[in-house]
Amino acid sequence: MKTVFERVRKLETRFGSTTEAMREPAGPSAAEVIGARLAALGIVRGPNESLAETTARAMGLSVREFRAELQRRAAGFTARPKPLHRLLRRQGREPAKREAVGKAS
């Protein structure tokens, strides 16, 4: 057992203590960031509503459609119109156009 403790002590000397690194988060969580961005758009999370339900509602999708969209994107398929673009079009706004990299104007 002494060798394990010696190894841990050497590693902590070299890289720092893991307990110190785990005390404070580096920043807000992804859920906090998404919630804040939705709130900035005026979309408030209901008292019994999950973040996924709020996000789906903001995108004009059902929870089932939202889950399918996440699974589709996780699989690497992004050819369909993005839900945010559909939402913007429903609101009468057009999504920003991006120019292709290396394309001459």
d(CA 14, CA 2): 18
Q: How confident is the model at residue 97 (pLDDT cuts 50, 70, 90)?
A: low
More confident residue, 49 or 104: 49
Spatial neighbors of 82 by CB under 8 A, at least 6 apart, are 95
d(CA 62, CA 78): 19
Considering the entire predicted model, what is its pTM? 0.52
